[in-house]
């Protein structure tokens, strides 16, 4: 897809996402909260309303199918497919009313070529198109300090990851500290914006990270699985997104180091 076409689609995607951000901030009905796989895996009527609105808009504008967290499915990832998380961080949306995002990506044969992450309450719009750099509210994003390692930065992760990755406890102790927002899309975008050095997660879904993976990559970050292989956003799995030297030092310390 040519850059000019991508930029036009990006403008439309941003406009659409901002429209539904208003719905999230001012829901027209009382929240109807339901559980999915477990009591902490929530979905609301607003999640569903936002997904339906964006899916309808994207399909009408482009004809490309939509894969969404709350029900929209695709037969395959061949060609162009939209990946959508209507509210990434639903628990935050329900309980704290902040730190949630709308994540929308366009993939071509499984590769993200356009990404939007809307920090609704923070009024920040993270965007990227393949080969065109990454931006927040129109301002370019880039690595703050490409030469530091993980001991000199803040890391974003969930402490529960330590149960499956014991070395993470030592890494966090050696780092500047850790934080967790509860939204993978926002956390990865925070790394892209230079406000944290790395993001570690063992299990994320395609709609969680498709847009943020592109935004991170276009900002100069390195994004891989925890075994160092390329992230295939069509599959669930681990993610390590970090500034280049932080990434290499984290990968060694978490996985490759003999002790």
The response to whether 99 counts as a known ligand-binding position is: no
- 113: region left, alpha or beta (phi > 0 left; psi from -120 to 50 alpha): alpha
The response to whether 85 counts as a known ligand-binding position is: yes
Q: For residues 52-79, b (16+ Cβ closer than 10 Å) or e, as one string?
A: bbbbebbeeeeebbbbbbbebebeebee
The two three-digit tokens of residue 77, written as one number:
């990832």
The response to whether 11 counts as a known ligand-binding position is: no
Separation of alpha carbons 195 and 113, rounded Å? 24
The response to whether 208 counts as a known ligand-binding position is: yes
The response to whether 215 counts as a known ligand-binding position is: no
Distances (CA, A) of 21 to 50, 124, 241: 8, 11, 26
Separation of alpha carbons 93 and 67, rounded Å? 21
The SS3 call for residue 40 is coil
The two three-digit tokens of residue 239, written as one number:
């993610």
Regarding beta strands 237-242 and 222-224, do their DSSP bridges make them parallel or antiparallel, or are they unpaired? antiparallel
Separation of alpha carbons 91 and 161, rounded Å? 18
Separation of alpha carbons 91 and 97, rounded Å? 9
> Which amino acids are annotated as binding site, given as ranges?
69, 85, 87-88, 208
> Which amino acids are annotated as binding site for Mg(2+), given as ranges?
69, 85, 87-88, 208
């Amino acid at each position: 897809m040519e850059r000019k076409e991508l930029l036009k689609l990006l403008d439309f995607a941003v406009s659409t996402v901002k429209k539904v951000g208003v719905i999230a901030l001012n829901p027209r009905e009382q929240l109807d909260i339901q559980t999915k796989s477990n009591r902490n895996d929530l979905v609301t009527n607003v999640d569903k309303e936002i997904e339906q609105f964006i899916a309808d808009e994207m399909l009408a504008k482009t004809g490309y199918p939509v894969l969404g967290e709350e029900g929209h499915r695709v037969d395959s990832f061949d060609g162009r497919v939209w990946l959508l998380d209507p509210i990434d961080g639903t628990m935050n949306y329900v309980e704290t009313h902040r730190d949630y995002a709308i994540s929308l990506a366009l993939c071509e044969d499984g590769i993200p070529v356009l990404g939007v992450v809307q920090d609704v309450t923070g009024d920040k719009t993270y965007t990227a198109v393949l080969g065109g750099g990454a931006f927040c509210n129109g301002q370019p994003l880039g690595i703050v300090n490409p030469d530091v390692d993980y001991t000199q930065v803040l890391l974003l992760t969930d402490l529960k990851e330590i149960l499956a990755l014991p070395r993470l406890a030592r890494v966090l102790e050696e780092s500047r500290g850790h934080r967790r927002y509860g939204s993978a899309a926002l956390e990865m975008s925070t790394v892209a914006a230079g406000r944290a050095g790395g993001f570690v997660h063992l299990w994320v879904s395609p709609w969680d990270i498709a847009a943020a993976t592109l935004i991170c990559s276009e900002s100069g970050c390195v994004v891989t699985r925890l075994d160092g292989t390329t992230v295939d956003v069509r599959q669930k799995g681990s993610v390590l997104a970090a500034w280049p030297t932080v990434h290499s030092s984290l990968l060694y310390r978490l996985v490759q180091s003999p002790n």
